[in-house]
Homo-oligomer: A and B are copies of this chain.
Amino acid sequence: MSFQTPAPAAVSITDPADPRLDDIRDLKSADKAGRGLVFAEGPLCVERLLDSPYPVRCLVGFAHKLAPFAQRAAQEGIAVYEVSRETLAQVAGFDMHRGLVATADRVEPWSVEGVISQARTLVVMEGVGDHENIGAIFRNAAGMDVDGVLLGSGVADPLYRRSVRVSMGHVLRLPWARLAGGFTTWQRSLAQLADADFKLVSLTPHPEAVHIAQALAGAPKVALLVGAEGPGLTEHAMRATHERARIPMAPGTDSLNVATSAAIAFYERQRSLLDL
């Protein structure tokens, strides 16, 4: 005969100074404060955090926002703190209308080899320093069947709060890892991809590059390299790839946003695998 443990009710906290809420204190500068936590805001991101390899520490939110997660949190032994809108605003430092946030510890869930081993399509970033662009690249990659993300030098932290939010939580589930080496050496790591039979394709607005559709046609495994808006990929990085490909641009216009360019390349990759 066994007894089922009832799900412990959420602990209600009314004092904004309560140390159990320290994880989410002054949330807007939480990343800068170096607490090194992962934050997920809103039901969609919180669910993706719960499904992720990151060990969840606590859930904080309004009663009705916490309710759908109560059973799972109880099963997994995650602390649940119920707060009012006012308390949450005082602790987080702004009016958090979504009313739900979860925190997790950082771990290193994937190795470069792990990301590569099961993948057919990868994206490799270089020099992308903007957290929103990083988040958007993860979102677009997840949406269009990219299997993993590799980071060269100069790429900002994908687990920053804003990246997680813009990625719609996909940065928490799509495998990613940092390639070894600094600014002028990381490109050597690309040899691992070539050895694993990936065709390495650099994305560049250069008019002499081949059309992206031609570069991707018939390649069983593809790794797409994208660089920061403005400078683009370094010559060093492009030299380490098999081909340079472009998205045709109208005369007199600027290159596209890096996440938009990446989305088009992902679309073309997906399209090249179909029999249209």
Cα of A145 to Cα of B139 in the assembled complex, Å: 26
User: In the complex where A211-B274, A276-B211, A276-B214 touch, is A256 in contact with B263 (Cβ < 8 A)?
Assistant: yes
- Please give the count of copies of this chain that the complex contains: 2
User: In the complex where A253-B170, A267-B247, A270-B248 touch, is A260 in contact with B213 (Cβ < 8 A)?
Assistant: no
The size bracket of the interface on A is: 20 to 34
Cα of A5 to Cα of B188 in the assembled complex, Å: 61
Q: Which of B144, B170, B213, B257 is A276 in contact with, Cβ under 8 Å?
A: B213
Complex contact A260–B140 (CB within 8 A)? yes
- Give residues of chain A (135-153) contacting chain B, Cβ–Cβ below 8 Å: 136, 139-140, 142-145
Q: Which of B144, B250, B257 is A144 in contact with, Cβ under 8 Å?
A: B250
Nearest Cβ on chain B to A191's Cβ, whole angstroms: 29
Q: Which of B140, B214, B250, B263 is A145 in contact with, Cβ under 8 Å?
A: B250
Q: Residues of B contacting A143 with CB < 8 Å?
A: 249-250, 253-256
Taking A139-B256, A211-B276, A256-B263 as given, write out 7 further A-B residue pairs in contact, using a Cβ cutoff of 8 Å, ordered by the A residue number: A140-B260, A142-B253, A143-B250, A168-B254, A260-B263, A263-B264, A267-B267
